[in-house]
Amino acid sequence: MSAHVLAVGEALVDVVHRPDGTSEEHPGGSLANVALTLGRLGRDVRLATWLGRDARGDDVRSWLAGSRVVLAPGSDGASRTSVAQATLDEAGAATYEFDLDWQVPAGAGAGDDTLAVHTGSIAAMLPPGDADVRELVEVARATSTVTYDPNARPAIMGDADVVRPRVEEIVALSDVVKVSDEDLAWLYPGREPLDVARAWQATGPAVVVVTFGGEGATAVTAAGEVAVAAPRVDVVDTVGAGDSFMGALLDWLWGADLLGAARRDALRAIDRAATARMLVRAVAVAAVTVSRAGANPPWPHDLIGPDRVRVGEHGTDERGTDEHGAEEHS
């Protein structure tokens, strides 16, 4: 088996309801979207998920295969394929309702060739699969980088006071955490997002990234904090944006030889210049995703990167705008 990333979690069908009353179906699911992004960016990625052997499951399988995502054995054991009803507002932001069935396929787990295990969202919180996800992550740390995106779904996860300590347990087991400001507002009402990120980073992760929608993202590391702005684009909808951002983080870390348990110390030592390059790449990928309908992350030919990222001394940010509208931060 070749070196790969293993994504563990939900693949489903998004039924998207638009403000004009129209609706359409797109394959999706947070972990499927991360896997799809990695596959499109040319990475070997496996997805351990829970699909039905039905028409919607066939659509999801075809969608994943078209982006070079390999399903882990046993991922087709569900009685039905799960569905998320996504309702968009006038700004393109989505709220969700779910009809979801989730289990970890028997035998899914990290091997010696698994560079990273990524999980999060509903899969890490919804019984009965949540306990298996946590066990899988604990075991995977021996060989793999562990990455996590809470990607909160209050409608299905329940009360934030119950969810919060379970999220914190997985954060502490992780090497890289990506979380949105909206997730943190739900989990920690009244707290500043970066205060939470700093607290999380102190519990174990090498990198905690907070995304701020169209405003960009900030990473907290041992070397300091780095913020980048998002490119300005016309937003069609935000479905899959955070997931494509996460996939881009993993893609960049792979290219920088920072994945795998043996590279854990190197990841902890990531400097501010490298962190900035990672974030610029991730916001560029997410910008393409929000510029088109559904969870439709970019292929390499869709991306034009900035010429350079400069990280200054003394921890201050100097901002410049390249020819494509991406802001450079130092």
pLDDT value of residue 107: 87
pLDDT, average across residues 140-159: 93
Amino acid at position 220, single letter: V
CATH number at residue 319: 3.40.1190.20
241-255 and 30-40 helices cross at what angle (nearest 10)? Answer: 40
* pLDDT mean across residues, the chain: 88
For residue 26, the enclosing domain spans 4-328
pLDDT at 327 over 70: no
8 A C-beta contact, residue 157 and residue 191 = no
Q: Is residue 320 scored above 50 in pLDDT?
A: no
| Domains in the chain, number | 1
Task: Give the CA distances from residue 134 to residues 105, 142, 171, 188, 224, in Å, rounded to whole numbers and listed in that order.
Answer: 14, 14, 11, 22, 29
Between 93 and 315, where is the model more confident?
A: 93
pLDDT in tens, 15-55: 888 888 898 888 989 999 999 999 999 999 999 999 999 99
Beta carbons of 94 and 238 less than 8 angstroms apart: yes
Question: 192-223: per-residue pLDDT in tens?
Answer: 999 999 999 999 999 999 999 889 999 999 99
Q: What is the mean pLDDT of residues 175-183?
A: 97
| Backbone angles phi and psi of 169, in degrees to 5 | -60, -45
At 310 the pLDDT is: 34
HSE-CB of 33 using CA atoms within 13 angstroms: 28
CA distances from 145 to 59, 116, 159, 212, 278 (A): 31, 4, 29, 25, 16
Asked whether the predicted pLDDT for residue 88 surpasses 70, the reply is yes
Percent of the chain at pLDDT > 90 equals 68
- Rounded-to-integer distance, Cα 161 and Cα 309, Å: 39
Angstrom distance (rounded) from CA 205 to CA 201: 5
The answer on pLDDT for 186 being more than 90 is yes
How confident is the model over 96-124, as pLDDT tens digits? 788 888 999 998 999 999 999 999 999 99
Laid out side by side, the sheet with 23-28 consists of 23-28, 12-17, 83-88, 94-99
Angle, in degrees to the nearest 10, between helices 55-65 and 30-40 = 30
The structure tokens listed for 241 are 């944006």
Q: Which amino acid is at 4?
A: H
Q: Are 252 and 280 in contact (CB under 8 A)?
A: no
If one counts every other C-beta atom within 10 angstroms of the C-beta of residue 259, the result is: 24
- Is residue 36 exposed (0-12), middle (13-18) or buried (19+ Cβ within 10 Å)? buried
Q: What is the Cα–Cα distance from 179 to 183, expressed in whole angstroms?
A: 7
List pLDDT tens digits, range 45-85. Answer: 999 999 999 999 999 999 999 999 999 999 999 999 999 88
Give 305's pLDDT tier (boundaries 50, 70, 90): low
Q: Return the structure tokens found at 102.
A: 């989730």
Residue 328 pLDDT more than 60?
Answer: no
Position 294 pLDDT exceeds 80: no
Tokens of 323: 């020819």
Phi, psi of 277 (to 5 degrees): -60, -40
